[in-house]
Amino acid sequence: MSNGFLPVSRQDMTERGIEQLDFVYVIGDAYVDHPSFGHAIISRVLEAHGYTVGIISQPDWRDDESISILGRPRLAFLISGGNMDSMVNHYFVSKKKRPSDAYTPGGVMGKRPDYATVVYGNLIRKKYKDVPVIIGGIEASLRRLAHYDYWSNSLKRSILLDSQADLISYGMGERSIVEIADALASGIDVKDITFIAGTVYKTKDISGITGSDDKDYNAILLPEYEKLKADSSKYAKSFGIQYKNTDPFIAKILAEKYPGGIYVVQNPPQKPLTTEEMDDIYALPYKRTYHPSYEEKGGVPAIAEIKFSLISNRGCFGGCNFCALTFHQGRIVQVRSHESIINEARQMINDPEFKGYIHDVGGPTANFRHPSCEKQLKNGVCQNRQCLFPTPCKNINADHQDYLELLRKLRALPGVKKVFIRSGIRFDYLLEDKNDDFFKELVEHHVSGQLKVAPEHISDAVLEKMGKPKRSVYERFVKKYYQLNEKLNKKQFLVPYLMSSHPGSTLKEAIELAEYLRDLGYMPEQVQDFYPTPSTLSTVMYYTGIDPRNGEKVYVCRNPHEKSMQRALIQYRNPKNYELVYEALVKDGREDLIGFDRKCLIKPKRADAVKNRMDGKNQNKPIKKKTIRNVHKKKH
């Protein structure tokens, strides 16, 4: 009897009467049939279009036979490295190994290789020389052209070449994967599939896309890979071009040349999905949990947070420079209907493990429930203007009414005690809404004691490099948030996410942030060092020292010790950070922040304290060890 999951073994195929699968999908994650997992969506979409799909989850890449357990597919192998880039999954920003993997049964680390998509692609090529290989998912999507790789500190080629794949389906991929499947099923050779939006292919002949009078097919030739490697400023320029060509309505074909006369060609992104198409995708027969074979290993940890969360949108016009969403999902927001989301909520309520709490209703940014302005669905987004940065565009449609109505409907469902919003509120967009109803109900109904927000920094110089609003905007939000809490007789707090060592941040800006936290009386428990993940504007700044938006030079903190100092300054009250904070203050000439004054960040070292006392009026008065020790104890 079928358990409702897609086949993972020959026995599963036999039970379903399948002799040969159309597609074999190799994934770096455990098999979780939930729409928060890319492999679940792509496989169910293909199934809905009449194709058979089998799953090989986390094959042993050291065993050539691990890739053939489902046999040779009729049409193609599909590969996804997982819901995260495999290198981000494996390593902290310090490049030390993470101890666990939330996307693996039992949380066990090491069940997928580094650079998983590349390794799986080469593993398939050893066994099956002539079967088409299509790669997708976040890892392939963000490495689709030449890209800086933080872990090897090098500029890598397109993942299409290193994986020996035939095509990349980049972005979310629902449309492109069906078009690829239909093309293959009709008998078109994979090498001739060069016409599908949202794909990247390789060729030695680009005459059909360049030199034409038809501007729609006049490709932009990016700098050659060898020149990018030789001159990082050329990479900054190339990425700037790519960044302006991420919109499906206005993007051009991009071509990047490699040695041997090979071109990697990126077609424009697929068009945004309509609400009806989004609804259809989320209505597919997902099992909404991990494969039962993982039960004895303790299940898959990643399911815990998303099992009772609802995805209401995708895409983001926030434009944070350290975020890869512009490159992956695009800037045009796509949404599901209220009916679709409420139907999914009712399914949740019937789950025996549901305790009455919906953990989240959102997406990349929770309070984006429609495109930022009316023109985007016809003309695309602006190439040279962000919707919210440096200030909100005059054409922005800051209206939370639809989102508010959705939340009200969810709160009213029998069995629902509380609906939380955890995927992030864009506070500058919230402040643009002249109607305060959503803000009031956010505070009244959707905060669990504390609201997490992401100012990221408070230095305007750093915020500009981040693509974030100015400090004054965040302070306006904070003031209004606490005013609403007081009015509603609530005692709820804000937990700001902060980032250290982002390009543009020197010790001066890090100290400025520490002073802000001092005045706030708050020390964050967690601080994120800037992590240079593939294909973000901030990562390009980190690698090149150039802002690809305008060609200006940017200060970049690459020295591990200085990074430790910047991080320590944010948590200056932690006794473990004392020496790093002391060194940073001395190095930047800010000894005024070392002392006993309430404006000081840390106390002096004992030797300094003794010297200061000796130099002062009471130089004949002995200093007691106990006194100094007690001062530090009281402080920390």
pLDDT, tens digit, 9 for 90 and up, residues 554-575: 999 999 999 999 999 999 999 9
How far is it, in rounded angstroms, from Cα 380 to Cα 382?
7
Q: How far apart are CA 121 and CA 123, in angstroms?
A: 5
Total length of the chain: 636
Q: What is the pLDDT of residue 215?
A: 53
Identify the segments of the chain with pLDDT beneath 70: 1, 211-217, 607-636
pLDDT at position 627 = 32
CB 336 within 8 A of CB 275: yes
Residue with tokens 């965040």: 474
88 token code pair:
């981000």
Angle, to 10 degrees, between the axis of helix 537-544 and the axis of helix 232-243? 170
Q: Say if residues 58 and 293 touch (Cβ distance below 8 Å).
A: no
H or E segment and range at residue 381: none
Q: Give the pLDDT of residue 326.
A: 81
How far, in whole angstroms, is CA 564 from its chain's centroid? Answer: 24
Query: Which ranges in 415-501 belong to alpha helices (H)?
Result: 427-432, 437-445, 460-466, 471-487
Selection from 172, 180, 184 nearest residue 196 by Cα:
180
What is the C-alpha to C-alpha distance for residues 366 and 199, in angstroms, rounded to an integer?
28
| Rounded Cα distance, 328 and 170, in Å | 7
pLDDT at 611: 54
Q: Quick one: pLDDT at residue 553?
A: 97
Q: What is the largest CA-CA distance in the chain?
A: 96
Whole-angstrom CA distances from 78 to 37, 56, 136, 202, 531 are 15, 10, 8, 17, 28
3-state secondary structure of 321: coil
Specify the pLDDT at position 312: 97
What per-residue confidence (pLDDT) applies to 29? 98
0.85 surpassed by pTM = yes
Domains observed in the chain = 10-202+258-266 (3.40.50.280), 308-448 (3.30.750.210), 450-465+486-602 (3.30.750.200), 606-635 (no CATH)
pLDDT of amino acid 3? 86
Token pair of 583 as six digits: 């060194």
- Residue 37 DSSP label: S
Residue 561 confidence (pLDDT): 97
The CA-to-CA distance between both ends of the chain, in Å, stands at 62
